[in-house]
Amino acid sequence: MQRRVTFDNRLLPYLLLAPQVAVTLVFFIWPAAQAIWQSVHLQDAFGIRSEFVWFENFTHVLSDPNYLDTLKVTVVFSVAVTVLAMGVALLLAVLADSKIKGARAYKTLLIWPYALAPAVAAVLWMFIFNPDIGSFGRALRALGYDWDYRLNGGQALAMVIMAASWKQVSYNFIFFLAGLQAIPRSVMEAASIDGAGPVRRFLTITFPLLSPTTFFLLVVDMVYAFFETFGTIHALTQGGPGKATETLIFRVYQDGVVNNDLGGSSAQSVILMVIVIALTAVQFRFVERKVHYA
C-alpha cells in the first residue's frame, strides 16, 4: 500500500519544492546547458567572436590520439582507485569491527584523513615521496632504487592512485563499519555454531549482507575517481610526466582554464557527463540486481 500525503493548499507543495528546484536549476541545469552551448561553438578567450561549429569540437577531441591516451589513463586510474579504496577500507572495517582493545581509537584515527582537503593531502604526499625533499623518496634513492616520479610515468601514476585512494579509504571505512554493525549478531553466531570459519562467514554472510553498502560505495567512489581527484593530481604531478597522470577531468581544466579553449573543454565536459551517466545507469541496471537489500 502506498502512503500519500495530501496538501490542502495547492500552491504549498510547489513552494516547498521551490528551493530544491532553484538550487538544481542554478547549480546544475544552467551550467550544464551552458557547457552544451559552449561545446558547439568556437570562441576566443574574451567571448568577443563566437562561431557555431556544429560538432567540430567533439570530432577534434575524439580524433586526438592524446585524448584516447587520457581516456586509458582515466580508466586505469578510476578502477585502481575504486578497488584499492574499497578493498583497504573493507579490510580495515572488518578488523576494526572485531573485539579488540582500543577499537574506538583505531576507528577515530581511520576517519581522520577524510577531513583533509585533497590539495593539502597531496602536499603531504609530496613531502613523503618527492625524490629530493621527501623522506620516503630520499630513502628509496638511498637504497639504490631509481625513484623519480617526475620522469617515470608508471611511478607517477602509482603515486597519484595511492594518494587518491588513501583519501577515500576513510569515507568507505565509515560506511563499511556502519554496514558491518548492522549485521545481526545472531546470524553470525548461528554460523559459528554450525562450524563456519571466519573466512567462510565473511564470504557467505558478511559480504552479501554488505552488498547495498558496497554498491553505494562503488557508485560514489567511481564518481569520486572521475571528478574529485583533480586537486590531488594538480598538486602532485600536474598530469605529467608527459601525459602519464592526465585524467579526463584534469584535461577539462587544463584546456578550459589554462588554455582558454572553452569549446574543446566544454565538449570534453559533455563527453565526461555522458560517460558518468552511462556508468551509473549500467551500475544501477546490472550490478544492483545482485544487491541484496535486507
Using CB under 8 A as the criterion, which residues of the chain lie in contact with other proteins when the complex forms? 27, 30-31, 34-35, 42-49, 51, 66, 132-133, 150-153, 238, 240-243, 254, 256-261, 263-264, 269
Would you say 137 or 263 has its CB closer to other proteins? 263
Instruction: Give kind and range of the element (H or E) at residue 52.
Output: strand 50-52
* Distance between start and end Cα atoms, the chain: 19
Beta carbon of residue 160, minimum distance to other proteins (angstroms, whole number): 15
Provide the sign of the torsion angle of the four alpha carbons 199, 201, 207, 213, taken in this order: negative
Using alpha carbons only, what angle is made at residue 195 by residues 189 and 197, rounded to the nearest 5 degrees? 85
Would you say 216 or 230 has its CB closer to other proteins? 230
Would you say 64 or 189 has its CB closer to other proteins? 64
Beta carbon of residue 240, minimum distance to other proteins (angstroms, whole number): 6
Residues in the chain: 294
**Backbone region of residue 47 per phi and psi (left: phi > 0; alpha: psi in -120 to 50; beta: other values):** left
Would you say 43 or 283 has its CB closer to other proteins? 43
Instruction: Give kind and range of the element (H or E) at residue 14.
Output: helix 12-24
What the block records as the C-alpha cell of 88 is 583497504
Instruction: Give kind and range of the element (H or E) at residue 71.
Output: helix 65-97
Give the single-character DSSP code of 29: I
DSSP H stretches of helix in 194-283: 198-201, 207-223, 230-236, 248-253, 262-282
Would you say 35 or 180 has its CB closer to other proteins? 35
Beta carbon of residue 166, minimum distance to other proteins (angstroms, whole number): 23
**Backbone region of residue 51 per phi and psi (left: phi > 0; alpha: psi in -120 to 50; beta: other values):** beta
Beta carbon of residue 229, minimum distance to other proteins (angstroms, whole number): 18
Asked if residues 212 and 220 have their Cβ atoms less than 8 Å apart, the reply is no
Q: Which residue is listed with cell 552511462?
A: 278
Would you say 179 or 264 has its CB closer to other proteins? 264
Beta carbon of residue 47, minimum distance to other proteins (angstroms, whole number): 5
Beta carbon of residue 246, minimum distance to other proteins (angstroms, whole number): 9
Three-state DSSP class for residue 3: coil
Beta carbon of residue 291, minimum distance to other proteins (angstroms, whole number): 33
Would you say 39 or 172 has its CB closer to other proteins? 39
